[in-house]
Amino acid sequence: MPEIPFGNPIPEYSSYGTSVSLPKWQDNINYEEGVPSAIAAMKSGYPRFFIALNIRRAEYCLHLIEVSKQAESGRSRAEQLAVGSSSSSNSRGGGGGGVIAAVVSGSVKTPSYYKRPAALNNRSGASAQVDGAPAANCAAISDELEETESLRFIEERYGRNLNSRLAEESKLILKKRISGIIVESGSELASGRDHAEQFVSRGVSNLSESDVFLTPTGMSSIFHTHRTILDFIKSEKSICFGFPYTDTLKILSSFGPGSHFFGLGEGSDYDELEALLSSGTEQIAALFTETPSNPLLKTPDLQRLRSLADKYKFVLVVDDSIGNFVNLDTLNLADVVVSSLTKLFSGDSNVMGGRY
């Protein structure tokens, strides 16, 4: 498989891909450190950190339209002032007609580029600029939007993209697939007719689509699980077992009573975990772990963690985003399974979502 160039989306020709190619370790370092040359080469990225180029160009075009409206309004006002003051200016032999004349003559132009506000910059803080002739840029954007609309129509009519009117049905089907009810695909999917369904085991009896909750992102599923445990089970500290995706630890530490962090997730960490639990000095609300972990790809001993959860009465939450529910069955050991569906379930890495 040929290497996808640095900064290009994965898949390579996805207009709104949430994954980006960082093929070399130094590329990752440059990106994390915000090296300007690396940031300038980015054509895609995760939406929380990177605004898609199509959206940037559309934003720029809208800005130009607004500036143009303001300039036209100012020009009309200047013309009125010029007409109203022409006789008095002549009688006084001059005056402030220079600025008015400049506006009327059209020498006050809209800017040829738009520098984004700092609040909308990408994660490195580097400003995104769009240079060139405004009319040409906006015309190109208009052509792109028309092409996008045409492609969307084709995909909705003949391809795999469902019309937005089928959103609720699509969510229900996704919940059924996650819970273990497989919906057969076919032409009846789009028509709304009954589907042939069959059950597969997820290791839990009486599991149904009503046990699955969809969220806008994977981190949202972790946050909602964390808040639900604190609100309805017990408001005590949680445990983060193993080195996780960094935002998981931030959620556990920042929202609620706090957390204990066992960063290795192996060896002596199990003994230290048991020592904490058996000390009786504090109650634990939940233990969060990843299988396998991101980015170290370590797999915890879920059997041992399950035994500890039963003994000390805390909720065991497993994040299976890397392995995902297609390849892993962890529900028979976990109380809650959370997943990021982003990059996974659309097939083109251009849709965000999560579940728990």
| b/e burial code for range 246-280 (CB count within 10 A of at least 16 → b) | eebbebbbeebeebbbbeebeeebbeebeebbeee
The better pLDDT of the pair 130, 326 is held by 326
Name the average pLDDT for the chain: 76
> Which pLDDT score is estimated for 162?
66
**The residue type at 177:** R
* Residue 343, C-beta contacts closer than 8 angstroms, at least 6 positions apart: 18, 19, 349
Contact 331, 337 (CB under 8 A): yes
Confidence check: pLDDT of 31 > 70: yes
Return phi, psi of residue 249, to 5°: -65, -35
Q: pTM above the 0.75 mark?
A: no
Confidence check: pLDDT of 235 > 60: yes
Question: Which of 348, 295, 354 minimizes the C-alpha distance to 15?
Answer: 348
> In the chain, what are the domains?
1-77 (no CATH), 209-355 (3.40.640.10)
Return phi, psi of residue 310, to 5°: -65, -40
Contact 290, 321 (CB under 8 A): yes
Block residue for tokens 């699509």 = 170
Type and span of the H or E element at 229: helix 218-232
Q: Please report which residue ranges of 263-350 form alpha helices under DSSP H.
A: 268-279, 302-312, 324-327
